[in-house]
Amino acid sequence: MRKPFIAGNWKMNTTLSEARELTQDLVEHMASVELCDLAVCVPFVYLFAVGEIVKGTKIVLGAQNLHWEEKGAFTGEVSAAMLKDFGTDLVIIGHSERRHIMGESDEMIGKKLRRALDAGLRPILCLGELLEEREAGTTEEVLRRQLEEDFKNIKGEDMASVTIAYEPVWAIGTGRTATPGQAAEAHEFIRHLLAGMYNSAIAQDTRIQYGGSVKPENAYDLFKEEEIDGFLVGGASLSAEDFSKIVEEALRARDL
Ligand code: 13P
């Protein structure tokens, strides 16, 4: 069975003191959680402070982006080696806000994925369709393109370190969650694609998180779907109480 994996994505939020307080609260709330992997993906500038607090706890430290080159003249960018230096274990790659606001292409995302893996970082690769793509019936086409292009240079043996997050863009920060059925259908399709790109064992073992307006109120129903292995939580991860309720509800849905 794939172990549940729930990660928070703070995006560009919190001050340093809020980041510290939120992390302390999370550590306290999560102390007794055993059967779920947990992570927080925080802004670069808070990696050090948050890393100090989560050290030795079950909460894994993650970043939200990296550059694909090893080092050099890339003003304002952060390398994989720098992230490793801060004790970062995970990195979100290809978030829809980076694809659609910052203009990242599948080619860039593919290079970032390769760099992260080469540096020993575990990527959470995000993909998902826009509202107009869903309405036009092209969701599967979009997921196929993203997956095939992003994973072009990723081998089967790399996949044990990779998590995929299905995040339909229309559900992010909108309060409009995908129905459990819609999410499960997309996850199943992603798994079907992975089986073709790699093999069925890899498709079965790869963890696929759902992200998009996950809250304590919908976590149970979503997690009832076997295809959903975890969540990537945005807004609700800024409250330790909400985040821990999401974890609780998810584990309750699986009788864990
Ligand atoms: P929300 O949970 O705020 O909708 O954000 C989801 C997300 O983008 C996580 O990466």
Write down the pLDDT at residue 85: 94
Write down the pLDDT at residue 115: 98
Alpha carbons within 13 A on the beta-carbon side of 223:
29
- Residue 196 φ then ψ, to 5°: -75, -40
**What 8-state DSSP symbol labels residue 12?**
S
- Residue 67 CA to ligand 1 center (angstroms) comes to 22
- Please work out whether the CB of residue 234 comes within 6 Å of at least one atom of ligand 1: yes
- Residue 47 CA to ligand 1 center (angstroms) comes to 19
Write down the pLDDT at residue 56: 95
Q: Are 165 and 113 in contact (CB under 8 A)?
A: no
Q: Active site includes 95? A: yes
Residue whose C-alpha is closest to residue 248's, from 231, 226, 235, 234? 231
- Please work out whether the CB of residue 211 comes within 6 Å of at least one atom of ligand 1: yes
Q: Are 5 and 230 in contact (CB under 8 A)?
A: yes
Write down the pLDDT at residue 175: 87
Q: Are 251 and 4 in contact (CB under 8 A)?
A: yes
Q: Walk along the chain (256 residues) and give the pLDDT tens digit of each residue.
A: 899 999 999 999 999 999 999 999 999 999 999 999 999 999 999 999 999 999 999 999 999 999 999 999 999 999 999 999 999 999 999 999 999 999 999 999 999 999 999 999 999 999 999 999 999 999 999 999 999 999 999 999 999 999 999 999 999 989 889 999 999 999 999 999 999 999 999 999 999 999 999 999 999 999 999 999 999 999 999 999 999 999 999 999 999 8
Residue whose C-alpha is closest to residue 158's, from 127, 192, 117? 117
Which residue has the CA at smallest separation from atom 9 of ligand 1?
234
- Residue 73 CA to ligand 1 center (angstroms) comes to 32
- Please work out whether the CB of residue 173 comes within 6 Å of at least one atom of ligand 1: yes
Exactly one of 97, 133, 167, 225 is catalytic; name it: 167
- Please work out whether the CB of residue 169 comes within 6 Å of at least one atom of ligand 1: no
Domain spans, the chain? 5-253
Tokens of 72: 């050099």
Looking at 3.90.1150.10, 2.30.30.90, 3.90.1720.10, 3.20.20.70, the CATH number of the domain 5-253 comes to: 3.20.20.70
Q: Which helix (H) or strand (E) holds 189?
A: helix 180-197
